[in-house]
Structure formats: structure tokens, C-alpha cells
């Protein structure tokens, strides 16, 4: 706030003791009585004190912070009462207590902020400014300028420290209340700094206290700060309540996982990101095996413990950007932004094994999972359906296993679940040339997966990639010639798909050569967007357009 001193009595020799002058455009515009200026300031602070104390009685979560804010405003109001009554009480007693009160008020304001943040603050840090001011005014009993200057600097440090604490965790404080507090405190700090500068250069007989333009600015900044600080603090409480209820509405209360409302919201955002920027995103459905048997044999309390155990295990495995949601019952969904085929495969297997290790002995519980990586043409239902189908295969295949969205076969000697890609007879489209190219691309994709499993060198992976990309371009050229004779929208859409895949392949390959992406991003593109989405789905959809081709024409064009 504003430090008080006995120098006001000395300054009265130059100006009437109860008036403050305002200088405008080179002339005195008006004279404001100092006690008139103090009256609304004191009334405002005491009103805020009473209002926040009444709010604290009805608050359950922020009771302590509101009481601290009320006490801060009440003590500051009493300090300004002492300042206003300086002519009627002993000068030393009034000024000494008033300055101690202002410093204690700032300390309580800092305590209100830390209480809101649920953080502990050292009593020495909190109350040492009050002790410093008390000692300074006793030591410099006859040195008014030094006392007021030190008291002002202490107040500046307190306010800056409070602002630092408030914005140190601004990302965890929702809303705009904190910015109102900042807008209230910073102008007051500036006015206090000007006040300190004026004191340091002023003569003893003309200290800029009480009747100066700077003093007027300090009083007005206090008035604004009380309003903005109190409103901002109450707004922070309201916004934290709103955020808390919003989080509760989006969380499962038992496991503290997200619920399906939040999951679908984030999944939609990630699908749009995939379509716009090509950022991969994967989804896994995880289901606890034999959960009903646990409830029936051990009781629902044990079942709840199993659910919480799984949630804790999964959260320990995933990244902060991943989303773990409870879909319903014993079924959970794991959404992995910026993750492709290999990442979701290894992560779900890790969760499966660690969940089994974390369970108490004797519980007949395992975990089954199915996963799918999103494709640019997917709807949410398509994407989720493929993962659900993979989960069904895991359940019917013996449970306690992880299955991908397509029947790829995991190598028996490896547990990281990077699958290899065997060609199956039902993948044939009936076009010998196209089927031969698909087979070659499948073989190269399988070699890339093997290289990733065996941690092959960048040079080795680059050689396989170069051959794959060359074969891919040749395959696109073959299909382009076959589709050139067709003018229907389906054929034109497929030609546009070729163009988009070519551009993305060149983009990813450039990043790979510059070592700006990991192999996982390339595996996502090759395994899913090329082998699954293009060769098995998109090409199958136009099989009737490329049926009964002329092999010589196609091969000659190649």
C-alpha cells in the first residue's frame, strides 16, 4: 500500500495538512481534502473485508484464502484510519503501527494467493517484511526519509513476489481472475517505485508525501488495486469451481480416467489433425478378462480395486499427451496422438504384461486388447469398429493377448509386437500385374518391420526404403494407366489419392533423410496408409475398374 510517516507534519509547513493538490496544464485545477480521499478508500477496504469474510463462511474449498483476503483488507483499512488520524494520536505510535499494518496486509495478500494454490509458504518469508519494517522505524526514529524509503521498497518486493507466485503456476489457474489481480497490482507497484524515487531525491523539508502529485497517484492506485484484487481473487475461485466441475463431468469417478465424452472430443480433434497435417493417431481397446468372475467370487469391492489397479498401471506406462478413458464396465480406451502402428503395438503389450505383474496372486484376471490406427478416410465409427474387431479376435483367440486391426502375425521370438506381413490368398484382386506389385510391396514392408525389430542401421533401413518407394511409384504408374481409360468420379478420386500419397511419401522420405523423424512415422505410413488403406481397401474398391487388364500395356508403360 502506501507507507506513512511523521514527515507529513513537516510537509504541512508548505501545504495545508488536510489537502492534496492536483496540478493540471500548468495550473491548480482543484484541491482535494486528504481525509475525503481516505474516506472512500477506508470504506472500500472494510467493505471488502466484511464481504469476503461472509463468503468464507459459506465456502468449503477456499475458506482459508478468503479469510486471508478479508484480513488483508481489514488491516489495510485500519492502517489508513491511523494515517487519517495522525493529528489526533501520538505520531510515532500512529505511523509505526500504520506502516506495520500495511506490510502485514501485503503479507496476508501473498498468503491468500498461496492458500488458493494449495501451496505452503515459509513463515519466515511471509512475516519477515513485517519485522523489517517494525525494526527500521524504531532504528531510524529521527530519519524519516530512510524509514519511508525502506518501507516502500519492502512493499514493492512483497507485491512482486505475490505476482511471481500467482503466475508461476498460471497454466494450472484457469480463467482471467489472475490477470485482474495483475492489472491491479502492477500500476500500484509502479506508483510505489515512483514514490520511492521521489523520496530518494527529495530534500528533507519537501518529502513527496501527503500533498504531492505522486501521493495522489498512490492513493488512486490503491483504490483500483483493492477493487481489482478482490474481484480477481473471487473470480479465480469461481473459475476454479467451474473447472473442477467440468473435470468431474469428464472423468470417471472410480478410476479417475477420462470418460467417453472427453475421449470422443479429443479423438475428433486428432482425426482432423491427421487429415490436415498427416499426424498419425492410434486407438486401443483394452478389456479386463474374467472381470465378472472376480465380482461374483470376490465381491464388487475387489472388482473396484482391480479397475483402479489397471488404471494406475496404464497411466504409469503412457505419456502425458495420451488419453486413457473408461468406456464402460471393465473396458478402457487408449488414444495415442502422434503415434503410429509400432508405438501402439508395443505400448499395449507393455500395459498387458505390467498389469498382470501388478495384480495380487490368485485373481483370475488378464488383459485383452485390440488396436487400430486411424486412416484419413475413417469416420469415428469405422476406426473404433476396426479396433473392436481386433479385440474380438483377442477374446476368441484365447484372451490375454493383443491383436492388431488386421491379421498380421507376430514373430514367435520377439515380444515387442512388431508384426510381420505375410501375403494371403484373399488379398488377390484378380489382376496379375497389380497382385504381383502388391506382393512385392508387402515383402518390402515386412523387411522394414524386421529391420525395426532388429534395430537395423539407418543406412540399411534407407536402402530398403529406397527400393520400397521406387516400387510404390511404379505401382502407382501401373494403376494410373489402367484408370486413365475411365472418366467416372471413382477413378478420378483414386488418381487424386495417388497424387496425395506420392506427395506424402516424398515429404516423409525427406524428413527421414534429414533424420527429423523416427522410423515409427514411416512404419505408420507404409504399414497402414499404403498396405492397409491403399492396397487392401482403396485398391479393392476399384477392383472392377482394373479387372481383365492388358498386361503388355501395363508392363510396357512401366
- Domains of the chain (ranges, CATH numbers): 7-250 (1.20.1070), 260-403 (3.30.70.270), 425-557 (1.20.120.50)
Helix (H, G, I), strand (E, B) or coil at 18: coil
Handedness of CA 505, 318, 285, 324 (dihedral sign): negative
Q: Specify the pLDDT at position 110.
A: 94
Per-residue cell: 158: 512483497
Q: Specify the pLDDT at position 253.
A: 87
Helix (H, G, I), strand (E, B) or coil at 363: coil
> What backbone phi and psi angles, to 5 degrees, belong to 334?
-120, 120
Q: Do 377 and 396 touch, CB atoms closer than 8 A?
A: no
Check pLDDT > 90 for residue 105. yes
Distance from C-alpha of 215 to C-alpha of 204, rounded to nearest angstrom: 16
pLDDT tens digits, residue range 454-512? 778 888 888 888 899 999 999 999 999 988 888 888 888 888 889 888 888 888 888 78
Task: List the one residue out of 160, 175, 380 whose CA is nearest residue 272.
Answer: 380
Handedness of CA 517, 518, 523, 524 (dihedral sign): negative
Q: Given the C-alpha cell 506427395, which residue does it identify? A: 503
Q: Specify the pLDDT at position 3.
A: 56
Per-residue cell: 239: 473459475
Eight-class DSSP state of 227: H
Distance from C-alpha of 294 to C-alpha of 302, rounded to nearest angstrom: 7
Give the rounded distance of the alpha carbon of 234 from its chain centre. 23
Cβ-defined contacts of 362-367 (< 8 Å, 24+): 363/294, 363/298, 363/302, 363/306, 364/290, 364/293, 364/294, 365/288, 365/289, 365/290, 365/291, 365/294, 365/306, 366/288, 366/289, 366/290, 366/399, 366/400, 367/286, 367/287, 367/288, 367/289, 367/310, 367/400
In this prediction the pTM is: 0.55
Task: List the one residue out of 372, 378, 371, 512 whose CA is nearest residue 448.
Answer: 512
| Rg of the chain over all Cα atoms, to the nearest angstrom | 36
Q: Do 281 and 338 touch, CB atoms closer than 8 A?
A: yes
Tell me the Ramachandran region of residue 515: left when phi exceeds 0, alpha when psi lies from -120 to 50, beta otherwise: left
pLDDT tens digits, residue range 231-253? 999 999 888 888 778 777 788 88
Eight-class DSSP state of 206: G
Per-residue cell: 7: 514527515
Task: List the one residue out of 124, 128, 119, 187 whose CA is nearest residue 154.
Answer: 128
Question: CA 257, 260, 261 angle in degrees (round to 5)?
Answer: 110
Give the rounded distance of the alpha carbon of 148 from its chain centre. 44
From residue 467, give the alpha-carbon distance in Å to each of 409, 508, 523: 23, 15, 15
Q: Do 348 and 371 touch, CB atoms closer than 8 A?
A: yes
Q: Percent helix, strand, coil in the chain (nearest 5)?
A: 65, 10, 25
Distance from C-alpha of 187 to C-alpha of 196, rounded to nearest angstrom: 14
Quick one: pLDDT band at residue 514, thresholds 50, 70, 90? confident
Q: Specify the pLDDT at position 453.
A: 72
- For residue 526, count other CB atoms closer than 10 A to its CB: 26
pLDDT tens digits, residue range 316-360? 999 989 999 999 899 999 999 988 777 888 899 999 999 999 988
Q: Specify the pLDDT at position 367.
A: 95
Quick one: pLDDT band at residue 34, thresholds 50, 70, 90? low
Helix (H, G, I), strand (E, B) or coil at 257: coil
Check pLDDT > 90 for residue 161. yes
Q: Given the C-alpha cell 473447472, which residue does it identify? A: 243
Q: Given the C-alpha cell 475458506, which residue does it identify? A: 63
Distance from C-alpha of 343 to C-alpha of 205, rounded to nearest angstrom: 76
Q: Do 67 and 75 touch, CB atoms closer than 8 A?
A: no
Distance from C-alpha of 82 to C-alpha of 87, rounded to nearest angstrom: 9
Quick one: pLDDT band at residue 408, thresholds 50, 70, 90? very low
Distance from C-alpha of 464 to C-alpha of 472, rounded to nearest angstrom: 12
Distance from C-alpha of 388 to C-alpha of 405, rounded to nearest angstrom: 8
Eight-class DSSP state of 290: T
Check pLDDT > 50 for residue 113. yes
Q: Given the C-alpha cell 488383459, which residue does it identify? A: 367
Check pLDDT > 80 for residue 270. yes
Q: Specify the pLDDT at position 26.
A: 34
How deeply is 53 buried, as exposed, middle or buried, from its count of CB atoms within 10 A (0-12, 13-18, 19+)? middle
Amino acid at each position: 500500500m502506501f507507507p506513512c510517516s511523521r514527515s507529513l507534519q513537516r510537509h504541512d509547513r508548505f501545504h495545508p495538512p488536510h489537502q492534496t493538490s492536483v496540478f493540471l496544464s500548468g495550473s491548480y485545477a482543484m484541491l482535494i481534502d486528504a481525509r475525503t480521499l481516505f474516506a472512500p478508500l477506508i470504506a472500500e477496504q472494510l467493505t471488502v473485508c466484511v464481504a469476503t469474510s461472509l463468503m468464507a463462511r459459506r465456502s468449503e474449498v477456499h475458506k482459508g484464502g478468503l479469510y486471508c483476503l478479508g484480513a488483508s483488507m481489514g488491516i489495510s483499512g485500519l492502517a489508513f484510519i491511523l494515517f487519517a488520524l495522525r493529528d489526533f494520536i501520538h505520531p510515532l505510535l500512529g505511523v509505526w503501527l500504520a506502516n506495520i499494518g500495511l506490510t502485514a496486509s501485503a503479507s496476508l495478500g501473498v498468503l491468500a494467493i498461496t492458500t488458493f494454490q494449495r501451496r505452503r509458504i515459509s513463515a519466515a518469508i511471509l512475516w519477515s517484511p513485517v519485522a523489517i519494517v517494525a525494526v527500521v522505524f524504531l532504528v531510524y526514529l529521527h530519519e524519516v526519509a530512510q524509514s519511508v524509503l525502506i518501507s516502500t521498497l519492502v512493499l514493492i518486493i512483497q507485491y512482486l513476489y505475490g505476482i511471481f507466485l500467482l503466475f508461476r503456476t498460471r497454466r494450472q489457474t484457469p480463467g482471467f481472475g489472475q490477470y485482474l489481480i495483475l492489472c491491479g497490482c502492477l500500476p500500484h507497484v509502479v506508483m510505489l517505485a515512483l514514490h520511492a524515487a521521489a523520496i530518494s531525491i527529495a530534500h528533507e523539508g519537501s518529502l513527496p508525501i501527503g500533498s504531492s502529485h505522486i501521493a495522489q497517484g498512490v492513493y488512486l492506485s490503491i483504490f483500483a488495486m483493492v477493487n481489482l484484487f478482490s474481484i480477481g481473487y473471487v473470480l479465480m475461485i469461481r473459475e476454479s469451481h467451474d473447472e473442477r466441475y467440468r473435470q468431474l463431468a469428464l472423468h470417471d469417478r472410480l478410476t479417475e480416467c477420462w470418460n467417453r465424452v472427453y475421449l470422443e472430443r479429443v479423438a475428433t480433434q486428432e482425426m482432423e489433425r491427421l487429415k490436415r497435417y498427416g499426424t498419425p493417431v492410434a486407438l486401443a481397446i483394452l478389456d479386463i478378462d474374467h472381470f465378472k468372475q472376480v465380482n461374483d467370487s470376490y465381491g464388487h469391492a475387489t472388482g473396484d480395486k482391480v479397475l483402479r489397479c489397471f488404471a494406475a498401471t496404464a497411466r504409469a506406462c503412457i505419456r502425458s499427451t495420451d488419453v486413457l478413458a473408461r468406456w464402460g464396465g471393465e473396458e478402457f480406451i487408449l488414444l495415442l496422438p502422434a503415434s503410429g502402428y509400432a508405438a501402439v503395438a508395443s505400448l499395449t503389450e507393455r500395459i498387458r504384461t505390467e498389469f498382470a505383474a501388478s495384480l495380487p496372486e490368485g485373481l483370475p484376471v488378464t488383459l485383452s486388447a485390440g488396436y487400430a490406427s486411424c486412416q484419413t478416410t475413417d469416420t469415428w465409427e469405422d476406426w473404433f469398429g476396426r479396433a473392436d474387431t481386433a479385440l474380438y479376435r483377442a477374446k476368441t483367440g484365447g484372451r490375454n493377448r493383443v491383436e492388431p486391426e488386421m491379421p498380421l502375425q507376430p514373430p514367435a521370438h520377439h515380444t515387442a509386437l512388431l508384426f510381420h506381413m505375410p501375403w494371403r490368398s484373399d488379398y488377390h484382386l484378380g489382376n496379375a500385374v497389380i497382385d504381383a506389385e502388391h506382393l512385392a510391396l508387402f515383402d518390402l514392408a515386412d523387411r522394414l518391420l524386421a529391420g525395426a525389430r532388429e534395430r537395423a542401421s539407418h543406412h540399411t533401413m534407407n536402402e530398403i526404403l529406397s527400393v520400397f518407394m521406387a516400387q510404390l511409384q511404379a505401382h502407382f504408374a501401373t494403376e494410373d494407366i489402367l484408370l486413365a481409360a475411365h472418366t467416372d468420379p471413382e477413378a478420378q478420386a483414386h488418381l487424386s489419392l495417388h497424387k496425395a500419397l506420392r506427395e506424402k511419401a516424398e515429404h516423409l522420405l525427406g524428413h527421414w533423410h534429414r533424420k527429423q523423424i523416427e522410423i515409427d512415422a514411416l512404419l505408420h505410413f507404409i504399414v497402414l496408409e499404403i498396405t492397409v488403406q491403399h492396397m487392401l481397401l482403396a485398391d479393392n474398391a476399384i477392383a472392377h475398374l482394373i479387372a481383365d487388364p492388358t498386361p503388355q500395356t501395363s508392363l510396357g508403360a512401366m
